[in-house]
Amino acid sequence: MSQPRMNLYGFPHKGLRNAISQLSQSAGNTDCSDQSSLNSLKALTGEVITLLALHAHSEETVVLPALESKVPGSTAENLAEHEQLEKDIDVIQQSLNAITTDSAPNLASQFYTAVTNFQSKYLAHMAMEESKMNALIWEHFTDADLMGQHGQIMSALTPEQIMLWFKYIVPALNPFERTIIMGGFKANAPKPFFDSVLDMLSGLMQQNEHQQLSVALS
């Protein structure tokens, strides 16, 4: 069986779909009059916004400049969408900042609307990247080139940022994909850091799934 091609969008987009769907659900069902629940919603929102910023940065500093050098003008639509999506993220943040435990219920409704409107746009944006942009990337770059870009992206992340990515990516993957990403991580990360990430994942995955992953990595 032939190996699938290197896909720079595959794992991060699965993680983002997971994170954004969790935020959409929490935006809709959180009791914002309860301080602990509101704090949890704000923490989740902060994590999602951080991941969105990291992903946009990696595209705008590594992936898109490389493609633009090969196909001038090919990244204009992507960058324009990024600019609009950043404005939508600002609306989400501002809407959440306005909510306190004493707020009128309509503020929580406005936040939910901001999140779900963004979700619909971002899902369409990722679909465009996975089809139109990835076709251009595969046409003009070898898998070795893409591995180099992946290395650039990963080397720019702090340990805390890597752990945050893995929090949302790994539970969203199928068993084969989990073995690929965690196997590569195990080969390159210090053992204490790898162990801490694997331990974190135990609270985010079904017990049998986590055990299956641990056995595959042993």
How far separated are the first and last CA of the chain, in Å rounded? 25
Domains of the chain: 10-158 (1.20.120), 173-218 (no CATH)
d(CA 151, CA 88): 30
Q: What is the pLDDT along the chain (218 residues), one digit of tens a residue?
A: 467 889 999 999 999 999 999 999 999 999 999 999 999 999 999 999 999 999 999 999 999 999 999 999 999 999 999 999 999 999 999 999 999 999 999 999 999 999 999 999 999 999 999 999 999 999 999 999 999 999 999 999 999 999 999 999 999 999 999 999 999 999 999 999 999 999 999 999 999 999 999 999 98
Which residue from 144, 7, 126, 137 is spatially nearest to 71, judged by alpha carbons? Answer: 137
Burial of 174 from C-beta contacts in 10 A (0-12 / 13-18 / 19+): exposed
| pTM of the complete model beyond 0.85 | yes
Cα dist. 68→72, 127, 134 in Å?
5, 20, 13
Contact 9, 130 (CB under 8 A): yes
